[in-house]
Amino acid sequence: MLAIKDLHVSVDGKEILKGLSLTINAGEVHAIMGPNGAGKSTLSNVIAGRDGYEVTSGSLTYKGEDLLAMKPEERAWAGVFLAFQYPVEIPGVNNTYLLKAGVNAKRKYQGLDELDAFDFMSVVKEKAKLVELDTSFLTRSVNEGFSGGEKKRNEIFQMAVLDPDLALLDETDSGLDIDALRIVAGGVNKLRSADRAIVMITHYQRLLDYIEPDFVHVLADGEIQKTGDKSLALKLEEHGYDWVKENL
């Protein structure tokens, strides 16, 4: 689904990703772990298409298409979703309106008719249950006044409604207490499917207790240093990231 080849990315002239390669197939769940400053968020932002990241060489191929040539909204229409580490508050823009605009833009791109208000609301209400999100959230402004946990739940709720093929979860576990983590992880687990790839970017192993990955990658110094199964995450937890560097 996604092939990253020898990706070099600079931010403000400083090279952050230094030749990262990674292949992600449908149905797989990947965890990308690494110390602060390793380039984890840079990777997710580049995939989602945020400005300010200069790709100096390498390629990102998504379903056979050059992802780098697509605008952020085109990537969303093609099925890429980023759950933000810091979801943005947007006063005055209604949550439901945003989702409806997103869903219908995607349907239009796929050549489908727009959902009518009734069908849309039934989808939304069903998905809200996945992350135990109160429907009163729907009429509020996007993330405005939400607690940290509510924002993260809202991200997974949006993911459920937008139904992506490739979901990137950027530090979705950060700032969550154990109950909220369980709810968010439960939502993600229900969204696992054979057609969907999920990439979790995280600093800590604890998320992986709840969402079991097929692959664990260690990202350090702008490159994938090591790939393994979930036992790699446990080793990391035990020995710290220095252990990876020492064992290179």
Partner 1 sequence: MNLVEERRQEALSLFEKVGLPNKRDENWKYTDASRLADLLEIDGSNTAINIEGLGMVDLDAYRMVFINGAFDAAQSSLPDEVNIVSLATLQSSVSDDDSQALAKLFQVSGDEPLFNGLMALNAATASDGAAVCLADNSVLNKPLYILHVSNQNNVIRHGLMLGEHAQAQVIEHFISTAENKALSNCVTALILKNGASLEHSRLQQEGKQQSHIARVEVKQCRDSSYTFHGVELGASLSRTDLVVNLSEQGASCALNGLFVLDGRQHVDHHTRVDHTAPHCTSHENYRTVLDGRSHAVFNGKVVVHEGASKTDSAQSNGNLLLSKHAEIDTKPELEIYNDDVKCAHGATVGQLDDKQLFYLRSRGVSEEEAQELLTFAFADEVLANMSNTTVRRYIEKAAFAKLPHSEGIEGLLGE
Give contact residues for partner 1 (rule: CB under 8 A): 48-51, 71-73, 75-77, 81-82, 84, 87-88, 90-94, 96-103, 105-106, 141-142, 158, 162
Q: Which is nearer to partner 1, 150 or 233 (CB)?
A: 150
User: From the CB of 41, what's the least distance to partner 1, in Å?
Assistant: 13
Q: Which is nearer to partner 1, 125 or 239 (CB)?
A: 125
Sign of CA dihedral 47, 34, 30, 186: negative
User: From the CB of 60, what's the least distance to partner 1, in Å?
Assistant: 15
21 within 8 A of 227, measured Cβ to Cβ: no
Q: What are phi and psi of 35, to 5 degrees?
A: -70, 165
User: From the CB of 163, what's the least distance to partner 1, in Å?
Assistant: 11
Q: Which is nearer to partner 1, 200 or 220 (CB)?
A: 200
Which bin fits 51, alpha (ψ -120 to 50), beta or left (φ > 0)?
beta
User: From the CB of 100, what's the least distance to partner 1, in Å?
Assistant: 8
Provide the β-strand partners of residue 82. Answer: 168
User: From the CB of 94, what's the least distance to partner 1, in Å?
Assistant: 5
Label residue 74 exposed, middle or buried (CB < 10 Å: 0-12, 13-18, 19+). Answer: middle
Nearest to 4 by CA among 163, 235, 197: 197
Separation between Cα atoms, residue 6 and residue 24, nearest integer Å? 14
Q: Which is nearer to partner 1, 96 or 205 (CB)?
A: 96
Nearest to 197 by CA among 73, 45, 81: 81
Q: Which is nearer to partner 1, 138 or 224 (CB)?
A: 138
User: From the CB of 22, what's the least distance to partner 1, in Å?
Assistant: 20
107 within 8 A of 113, measured Cβ to Cβ: yes
DSSP 23-84: EE-TT-EEEEE--TTSSHHHHHHHHHT-TT-EEEEEEEEETTEEGGGS-HHHHHHTTEEEE-
First to last CA, the chain: 29
Q: Which is nearer to partner 1, 14 or 71 (CB)?
A: 71
Q: Which is nearer to partner 1, 162 or 216 (CB)?
A: 162
User: From the CB of 61, what's the least distance to partner 1, in Å?
Assistant: 19
